[in-house]
Amino acid sequence: MSFSPPVFPKTFNIATYFLEHNLEEGRAKKTAILYQDEKISYEDVDKRSRAAARVLRELGVSVEDRVLIAMPDRPDFVYAWFGTLKAGAVVAMANPLVSASDLAYYLDYTRARALVCSHEVAVKARQDIISARHLRVALVGNDPPREFGEAPQLLPKGPRFKWWRECLEGAGDDFTTEPTDRDDPAVWLFTSGSTGKPKGAVHFHHDFAFNTECYAKRVCGYRESDVTLSVPKLFFGYATGTNLMFPFAVGATAALFEERATAESVFRNVAKHRPTILTSVPTMINAMLSAPESERRDLSSLRLMLSAGEALPEELYKRWKSTYPVEILDGIGSAELFHIYISNSPDDVKPGSLGKLVPGYEARVVRPDGTDAPDGEVGTLWVKGDSAAVYYWQDHEKSKQVLRGDWVVSGDLFTREADGRFRYEGRADDMLKVGGVWVAPLEIENCLLEHAAVSECCVLGYEEEGLVKPLAVIVPRPGTPVTHELADELKEHVKKRLLPYKYPRKIVWRFDPLPKNDRGKTDRKSLKEALARGELS
């Protein structure tokens, strides 16, 4: 079928596109949010978001000012998110588990005029909030403070601190949404910070609506009857899309839980809220399959599970499908393009492949000399689509390197198959040159995961007599005896299935889960640093 990319009116605010249209289409009383035992209607979300916009405006937040949100997944996050957009200001989001020093970085980097945060964030970063040069106010959530136990909740001292809920209750809800331009800045999405501090990719209002029309509606098929749930938290653009923007775009219901995502908490929330779409990552898929009595868990409400953030190993997909009758749509997106631009689709899934281009997007697989690689040859993925960021804040050089006209140079290595599917080969900066030949750690990791003894693994490069060799950090499955014989068996397992020079020369056993970054990916950076310090041997 032919596809005409969507075009949006000149005056365009995504608060109207995602939220307010539901009132106009008769969904005022429909449940928009499930949170604990609450059911919050679209009408209530809109009223509280209007109150949030009025609070921000009255506290000195103007059009295009940044508002930093460091709030767990609860309704207050949603009110702050839409309230910021209604006020014509710009959303920036930080992990609510952020350290005080990192919050200080975000406040200085974004020059946020307002911070909306949990009480826990306000307490641990009090001094950094007080000393932030550009900040006018910190609006503090009224969440129970864990560090004070049953003691009365206290607002941190200082004129910058105000209770968020009290401000909302005292404000009117008659605010009129700012008539922003479709090309006005709306949201900053942060890179994962795998090298250095996270950088903000600046996005316009229309970027988010474009991907919603192309990916959420055409590929995933979000619909009004859906209930969504997410393993990643809302501060991460992957989840902001799948568990806030996308369901709101079609009048569906988003279920929120703020506790740390574990296999048990996910199973518990699936049982409680009965979602139809679950947003996940391969690490959690593996954890759910490894949970006690996993095969007895009831996931019958689900019609789809979305996976992104890191590659989904073919072996893991097959284990999931043999356990649960729930399809996984593996895909890839980035902060630079807001969301998924290559994906499998519900009626066309190929294990081990990331699928085909999302309608509205184009891609090239590019050789080092800038020419297009033929099918089957590894190259760097370049992507084009109308959800691309315009630049990185305060990083002109990186902007020139990555954002080249209409194209985004991803830094990911891919092969394109003859049928138009794309296969992920790894990050360019993770590749290992072994014996003069490039080796993708992901290929070795996927091979190791096929072995019954391996629960998790990460392949790194180490130097031996000036030469780079593969090293595998392996978490064994529970109850697996760790022996020299098992290590030799795993090496032979790789030699037999891949070219012999790709086998890991060293195997390091780890009996705790591999470290994860705040996006839920395996934290290769911290493992590389541990290797450099001599801690992996």
What pLDDT does residue 84 have? 98
Encode 375-396: b = buried (16+ Cβ within 10 Å), e = exposed: eeebbbbbbbbbbbbebbbebe
The conformation of residue 372, written as its DSSP 8-state character, comes to B
pTM across the whole model: 0.86
Distance CA 436, CA 433 (A): 6
Q: How confident is the model at residue 152 (pLDDT cuts 50, 70, 90)?
A: low
pLDDT recorded at residue 61: 98
> Using CA atoms, how far apart are residues 375 and 416, in angstroms rounded to an integer?
5
pLDDT score of 338 more than 70: yes
Residue 431 or 113, more confident: 113
Residue 433 has pLDDT above 80, yes or no: no
- Are 118 and 126 in contact by the 8 Å Cβ rule? The answer is no
Q: DSSP states of 205-243 as a string?
A: HHHHHHHIIIIIIIII---TT-EEEESS-TTSHHHHIII
CA 536 distance to own-chain centroid: 29
pLDDT beyond 60 at 286: yes
Query: Can you tell me the distance from the alpha carbon of 336 to that of 402, in angstroms, rounded to the nearest whole number?
Result: 9
| pLDDT above 90 as % of the chain | 78
Q: How far apart are CA 51 and CA 156, in angstroms?
A: 23
pLDDT at 417 over 90: yes
Q: What is the pLDDT of residues 197-210, one digit of tens each?
A: 899 999 999 999 99
- At residue 150 the predicted structure's pLDDT band, cuts being 50, 70 and 90, is very low
What is the per-residue pLDDT for 484? Answer: 94
In DSSP terms, 392 is beta-bridged to 201
Across 25-29, 88-92, 195-199, 499-503, least confident range: 195-199
pLDDT higher than 70, residue 343: yes
- Specify the 3-state DSSP secondary structure of 433: strand
Average pLDDT of the chain, as a whole number: 93
Cβ–Cβ under 8 Å, residues 52 and 276: no
| Residue 149 pLDDT grade (very low, low, confident, very high; cuts 50, 70, 90) | very low
Is residue 151 very low, low, confident or very high in pLDDT (cuts 50, 70, 90)?
A: very low
| Band of residue 68 on the pLDDT scale cut at 50, 70, 90 | very high
Measuring CA to CA, how many Å separate 45 from each of 39, 53, 76, 357? 11, 12, 10, 34
The residue extents of the domains of the chain are 431-532
Whole-angstrom distance, CA of residue 110 vs CA of residue 293: 46
431-532 fold: GMP Synthetase; Chain A, domain 3 (3.30.300)
Q: How confident is the model at residue 158 (pLDDT cuts 50, 70, 90)?
A: confident
